[in-house]
Amino acid sequence: MKKNKLPYILITVIAILSILLYNMFFLMNPEDKENEIIYFVSKTSSENNTFWRSVENGAKVAASELGVDLIFVGPEREIDLDTQVEFVEEGIRINPKAIILAASDYNYLTEVAEKVISNNITFVTVDSDVGIKEPHSFIATNSIEAAKLLGKEAGRLIGRKGEVAIVSHLKGTSSAFNREEGFKQGISLYKDIQLIDEIQYSNNDVTTAYEKTKGLIKKYPDLKCMFGTNEATLIGMAKAIKELGVKDQITLVGFDISVEAAGYLEEDVIKAIIAQKPFNMGYLSVKEAIELSKNNKEYHEIDVDVVLINKENMFDSQNQRLLIPFLEE
């Protein structure tokens, strides 16, 4: 059945119109131009994405503490690259103190990112970087090291042997590539593990991840482990594994905790999760943007640490703040 794309189009149009109206307000009210604006272009504006809602919460807290205005925008779907470019272009027209970008594609957003810098607007990337030569700060999880840790754990959980498959979120993003590479490094420590040379991509869609997972399980009946690289991908994979009744056969591990993922963890459908700290990412990116906008040209690559969560430690008090996002606020 063909999906109705109209809601996505309407949401995107409404979001862009909102920004245009915001911009018109500033043009009509010059006394407000002195307000400091931080313009944050997310990978997605979907209310269903726990990770990016937590990033937004962190950014809002930092903006409030620092006395700046925050505009937080993004396309409905991560694969809408042209819409993300349009949001950045609109940010340039607003001419804020800084633009923060979570690039959905390392190369596709390069030209517009360079345009930000050429307009003398402070530029910071968060979660996924963009392929520009100009110096800028980057705030993110060290995806390679985090995925390497998860790869080691996955190998241990399956007894150091068996077939392993990867379902990644979005081809072309630095976060997806680095998590794939890190996981490969982790499981490569075990000589009797065979990685299937066929990475599938969910396009950050739960249903697509669900279908890709079922397809892989059918094609490779001896699979022992599967790795999902982000929240939507992991949830879709968990749904498929639970429905097929193969949670005892296939060890599922992945990135990004949420209330739904925690439920699958408790049911033993998911065996281990790398929990990032998206609230911290949002908070630190706004703080860094303000510092750089004050003519401080000391750029930083800030590594936001992670936690490996399993059924045994998921109820530890320090991990509950990651499992239930509103506790971070």
My answer on whether 238 and 152 are in the same domain is yes
Confidence of residue 9 (pLDDT cuts 50, 70, 90): low
328: pLDDT strictly greater than 60: no
Contacts of 329 (CB under 8 A, 6+ apart): 57, 61, 279
Contact 15, 47 (CB under 8 A): no
Domain of residue 186, residue span: 143-275
CA distances 74 to 86, 160, 220, 242, Å, are 10, 41, 37, 32
Count up the domains in the chain and report the number.
2
Mean pLDDT over residues 36-57, rounded? 92
Query: CA torsion, points 20, 22, 24, 27, in degrees to nearest 10?
Result: -140
Q: Is residue 316 part of a domain?
A: no
Rounded CA gap, 300 and 297, in Å?
9
Reported as a pLDDT band with limits 50, 70 and 90, residue 326 is: very low
Whether residue 74 is found in the same domain as residue 156 = no
Residue 25 pLDDT more than 90?
no
**Winning range, highest mean pLDDT, from 41-55, 230-244, 315-329:** 230-244
CATH of the domain at 60: 3.40.50.2300
Rounded to the nearest integer, the mean pLDDT of the chain is 89
Residues 54 and 166 in one domain: no
Residue 205 and residue 87 share a domain: no
pLDDT winner (highest mean) among 29-43, 82-96, 307-321: 82-96
Query: Does residue 168 sit in the same domain as residue 268?
Result: yes
**32 has a pLDDT exceeding 50:** no
1 domain-assigned: no
Instruction: Using the predicted structure, report yes or no on whether residue 4 has a pLDDT greater than 60.
Output: no
132 and 180 co-located in one domain: no
Per 3-state DSSP, what percentage of the chain is helix, strand, and coil (rounded to 5)? 50, 20, 35
Please report the pLDDT score of residue 18 as a whole number: 53
Q: Are both 180 and 60 inside the same structural domain?
A: no
Q: What is the model's pLDDT at position 108?
A: 97
pLDDT of 14 strictly over 80? no
Among residues 112, 145, 107, which one has the least CA distance to residue 304?
145
Region 11-24 average pLDDT:
51
pLDDT in tens, 86-141: 999 999 999 999 999 999 999 999 999 999 999 999 999 999 999 999 999 999 99
**pLDDT tens for residues 270-293?**
999 999 999 999 999 999 999 999
Average pLDDT over residues 178-182: 98
Residue 46: pLDDT over 90: no
Overall average pLDDT of the 300-311 stretch: 94
> Do 134 and 193 share a domain, yes or no?
no
194 and 120 assigned to the same domain: no
Same-domain check for residues 179 and 269: yes
- pLDDT tier at 301 (50, 70, 90 boundaries)? very high
Query: Coil, strand or helix: which one is 107?
Result: coil
pLDDT of residue 314: 80
Structure confidence at residue 1 (pLDDT): 41
Q: What is the pTM (predicted TM-score) of this model?
A: 0.84
Residue 132 lies in a domain: yes
Residue 313 is assigned to a structural domain of this protein: no
200 and 284 together in one domain: no
